[in-house]
């Protein structure tokens, strides 16, 4: 009990020190030694830019030691992001909001033209005037909530509009905490069964990539009202590796199907098969895996035009945006790398390696993705060693494919992955 008491005192002292008038937008030597960095220098908006943009044009400015939202933004615009991606972190900041105001701090935001607004990918620590907001608020809309997902403690201590509050987000390999004025008010684990149930039953039901990103930019929201931010500090935390069996041999737990083609389990095997519409179909992991070492086995019973996508996401109309390790009949570059909706073939397989594929038999594929490097092996033989800047900047799901045209049937088993 004494240790817990001292820990609470230490956390409270940390938040109090962040509000001290003598330390605005500065790091102590102890904080520097511990790895903390400033997201705002107290004077300029250097290091910030528009969401999905190259420079800063959104309605924000720096004044009086704060970042200020002018209040000219809205649902579709007015977002600014810090230039660096963050994965696991401890983030603290001070903030205040105008009477009746609404803003937010988002993280793991993915920048891509396919995503017009940041909240369809990035979770949000809600910042709002709980008391003076002109419309009735649901509990999931109130300050410090994990917006539209997890409610904040009703006993939270929130200072009124126009006064400074201190907040904290801790994201540590899926363990998430929200703090408000020295008090932990939200705690949950991302990507659990409960998390996915909440995602698929509420506001994000039609936002397939919401909350899946493992890394992304920090984002501030101008939602049509003035807001002020200062003492924004972040400390990066280490990534923890894990080993995952992606297929349990019984059902499609952990996967999401897109399209009308057939995905099912038979005799302990995962089967993909063309349906009557003979269109593209995908079976994607419901989680993102960015850096990993994946092994799986496949057998082409009929036309084997399929593939394994990586760092990919799902677009409307059953389109996948990302990269594919080809699985196809002999002579069609199994083990090569193809980019969908972009550059096309990045690496094709030389003719002398086409015989490595075993027809009508089980094959072992290994795919290793680390940073900007991708390596593939087929039956123990290296097929591709590619370094690509565009791949290095991406993240996303692993997905199995059924090509269009019909007549395709491929079996899969022993799908195992280790994160790097």
- 248 with 393, same domain? yes
pLDDT per residue as tens, the chain (420 positions): 443 433 444 444 444 444 444 589 999 999 999 999 999 999 999 999 999 999 998 889 999 999 999 999 989 999 999 999 999 999 999 999 999 999 999 999 999 999 999 999 999 999 999 999 999 999 999 999 999 999 999 999 999 999 999 999 999 999 999 999 999 999 999 999 999 999 999 899 999 999 999 999 999 999 999 999 999 999 999 999 999 999 999 999 999 999 999 999 999 999 999 999 999 999 999 999 999 999 999 999 988 899 999 999 988 888 899 999 999 999 999 999 999 988 999 999 999 999 999 999 999 999 999 999 999 999 999 999 999 999 999 999 999 999 999 999 999 999 999 999
- 109 with 149, same domain? yes
How do beta strands 381-387 and 373-378 pair?
antiparallel
- 65 with 212, same domain? yes
- 228 with 255, same domain? no
Q: Which domain range does residue 183 map to?
A: 2-236
**Nearest of 365, 296, 295, 300 to residue 330 by alpha carbon:** 300
Q: Domain boundary at 236, 265, 300, which?
A: 236
- 189 with 285, same domain? no
DSSP code of residue 200: H
Say if residues 132 and 161 touch (Cβ distance below 8 Å).
yes
Q: Domain boundary at 188, 218, 236, which?
A: 236
What is the spatial distance between Cα 59 and Cα 78, in angstroms, rounded to a whole number?
A: 6
- 311 with 408, same domain? yes
Q: Domain boundary at 186, 209, 236, which?
A: 236
What is the spatial distance between Cα 371 and Cα 388, in angstroms, rounded to a whole number?
A: 9
- 303 with 188, same domain? no
The domain that contains 303 carries what CATH number?
2.60.120.560
How many domains is the chain built from?
2
- 314 with 386, same domain? yes
- 382 with 398, same domain? yes
- 112 with 155, same domain? yes
**Phi, psi (deg, nearest 5) at residue 378:** -125, 120
Identify the pLDDT of residue 368.
Answer: 98
Name the percent of the chain in helix, strand, coil, to the closest 5.
10, 45, 45
Identify the pLDDT of residue 5.
Answer: 38
How do beta strands 397-402 and 306-315 pair?
antiparallel
- 247 with 212, same domain? no
**Nearest of 410, 136, 404 to residue 298 by alpha carbon:** 410
Beta bridge partners of residue 402, listed in sequence order: 281, 306
- 169 with 93, same domain? yes
Beta bridge partners of residue 169, listed in sequence order: 91, 178
**Model confidence over 396-411: pLDDT tens digits?**
999 999 999 999 999 9
């Amino acid at each position: 009990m004494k240790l817990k008491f001292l820990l609470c005192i230490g956390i409270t002292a940390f938040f109090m020190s962040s509000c001290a008038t003598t330390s605005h937008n500065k790091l102590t030597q102890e904080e520097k030694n511990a790895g903390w960095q400033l997201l705002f220098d107290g004077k300029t908006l250097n290091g910030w830019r528009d969401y999905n943009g190259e420079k800063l044009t959104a309605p924000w400015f720096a004044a009086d030691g704060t970042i200020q939202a002018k209040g000219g933004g809205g649902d579709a615009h007015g977002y600014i992001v810090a230039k660096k991606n963050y994965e696991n972190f401890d983030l603290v900041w001070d903030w205040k909001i105008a009477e009746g105001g609404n803003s937010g701090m988002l993280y793991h935001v993915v920048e891509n033209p396919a995503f017009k607004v940041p909240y369809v990918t990035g979770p949000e620590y809600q910042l709002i005037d709980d008391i003076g907001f002109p419309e009735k608020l649901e509990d999931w809309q109130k300050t410090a909530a994990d917006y539209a997902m997890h409610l904040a403690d009703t006993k939270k201590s929130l200072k009124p509009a126009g006064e400074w509050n201190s907040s904290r987000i801790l994201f540590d390999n899926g363990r998430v905490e929200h703090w408000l004025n020295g008090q932990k008010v939200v705690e949950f684990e991302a990507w659990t069964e409960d998390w996915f149930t909440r995602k698929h039953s509420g506001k994000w039901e039609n936002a397939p990539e919401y909350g899946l990103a493992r890394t992304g930019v920090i984002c501030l929201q101008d939602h049509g009202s003035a807001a002020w931010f200062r003492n924004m500090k972040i400390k990066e935390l280490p990534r923890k590796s894990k080993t995952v069996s992606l297929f349990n041999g019984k059902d499609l737990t952990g996967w999401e199907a897109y399209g009308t083609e057939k995905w099912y389990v038979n005799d302990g095997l995962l089967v993909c098969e063309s349906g009557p519409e003979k269109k593209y179909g995908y079976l994607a992991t419901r989680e993102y895996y960015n850096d990993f070492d994946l092994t799986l086995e496949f057998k082409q019973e009929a036309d084997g035009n399929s593939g394994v996508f990586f760092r990919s996401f799902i677009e409307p109309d059953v389109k996948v945006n990302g990269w594919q390790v080809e699985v196809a009949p002999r002579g069609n570059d199994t083990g090569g790398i193809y980019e969908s909706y972009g550059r096309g073939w990045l690496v094709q397989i030389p003719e002398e390696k086409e015989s490595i594929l075993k027809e009508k038999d089980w094959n072992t594929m290994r795919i290793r993705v680390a940073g900007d490097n991708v390596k593939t092996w087929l039956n123990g033989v290296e097929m591709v060693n590619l370094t690509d800047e565009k791949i290095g900047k991406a993240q996303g799901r692993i997905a199995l494919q059924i090509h269009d045209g019909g007549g395709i049937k491929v079996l899969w088993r022993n799908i195992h992955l280790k994160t790097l």
